[in-house]
Amino acid sequence: MPTFQNLLKGIKAEIREIDVQGTKAALDQATPPAIVDVREQDEYVQGYIPGAVWIPRGFLEQKIEDAVPDRAAPIIVYCAGGTRSALAARSLIELGYTNVKSMAGGFGAWKRTGLPWKAPTVLSREQEQRYSRHTLLPEVGVKGQIKLLEGRVLCIGAGGLGSPSSLYLAAAGVGTLGLIDDDVVDATNLQRQILHSLDRVGMPKVDSAEKTLNGLNPDVRVQKHKARLTSDNVMEILSGYDVIVDGADNFQTRYLVNDAALKLGKPVVHASIFRFEGQITVFPAEGGPCYRCLYPEPPPPEEAPSCQEAGVLGVLPGIMGVLQATETVKILLGLGTTLAGRLVVYDALKTRFRELKLRRDPKCPTCGDGVDRSKIQLIDYAQFCAGN
Ligand SMILES: [Zn+2]
């Protein structure tokens, strides 16, 4: 009867091993090998090698074909110390894989050498419960929920559009929600700005919003920017986020958000409302179209609408803000088809959605052909009328 030690020695003689430095060098190549982590869940959640596919040893034979269909593809297998991965490597060879190596020393040696590793976020018991209707969707799953929890979204404005969009994003578990608004809650806001309440009249909107959003979901880290966007602060504020939800109530902010987002390569989910009508589209991070393809320049100040109070049906921003939240979640999850290149116009009186094609304008000053986006100049246009 061979002892386990003898068995292992025999296996190690049959397979090929690679040390952690060799693994790192292989992973840094232009076409790196597949790296497979065969440890158990409680080990994996403590940290893993970036880029690794996690298949616990017990599932390896069943699942490897989905992860690495090509049997000639180079594979490096690792476990905690190099023993299980040696056994795993032999199984893969038996399955017909021809270029398999086991990482000697395992993840322990990797970590001790000071090589980079990542700690995955896992759902707590409370989160498993809270997000179960998400994780039940195969298109979302635990992986998607973790993406949302790691997601960083900035809502421009905590008003009519920012209220429903931030509420649904918080409910969905978007982990970091930025809100920029320099206003205070006013009694006339309450007809549509459902983040706020009567007892908070006079309170800064970002403070009121934080209270509501954390009351709904304590997982969400609310980052408050009690400011007005200007060419001085827009780059710094936007750079901290993955997706920008533009619910601005004025043109100068929309241009500033558009131009800065193009410079930074961030997608913008844009909506606006007026009386009984709302519009929504997505300006993608790459390519176009952008806001300036729609409206190249703001109207000159003398033609700008006068600053009287514009009316708006209170429910309307609810519809448009929820559509913005939907597009944002899709972008974070990489699901479905966004509204990039399409403008949806909602007429509340006729209950009609119309879809218009939006094309990138090759002559657009900010996303046109040959434009160097890093050189876009940010402009602070004179303030003109608000409509939110
Ligand atoms: Zn453009």
What are the per-10-residue average pLDDT scores of the chain (388 residues)?
A: 89 95 95 96 86 93 94 97 96 96 97 89 87 95 94 97 98 97 96 98 98 96 96 97 96 96 98 96 96 88 59 96 98 97 98 97 96 95 59
User: What are the φ and ψ backbone dihedral angles of 35, each rounded to 5 degrees?
Assistant: -115, 125
| Cα–ligand 1 centroid distance for 384 (angstroms) | 22
Residue with tokens 């006729």: 350
**Ligand 1 centroid from CA 149, angstroms:** 31
**Cα–ligand 1 centroid distance for 289 (angstroms):** 5
Q: Distance (Å, rounded) from C-alpha 225 to C-alpha 215? A: 19
Q: DSSP alpha helices (H): ranges in the chain?
A: 4-14, 20-27, 41-44, 60-67, 83-94, 106-112, 125-130, 132-135, 141-150, 162-172, 205-216, 234-238, 251-264, 291-294, 316-333
Q: Give the number of other CB atoms < 10 A from CB of residue 214.
A: 15
92 CA to middle of ligand 1, Å?
A: 51
Q: What is the 3-class SS of 175-190, one letter each residue?
A: CEEEEECCCECCHHHC
Does this model's pTM top 0.75? My answer is: no
Query: 192 CA to middle of ligand 1, Å?
Result: 31
φ/ψ (deg, to 5) at 6? -65, -40
- The CA 385 to ligand 1 mean position distance, Å, reads 23
pLDDT at 388: 45
Cis check: omega of the bond before 33, within 30 degrees of 0: no
pLDDT at 118: 87
337: Cα within 13 Å, side-chain hemisphere: 2
Distance 253 CA to ligand 1 centre (A): 16
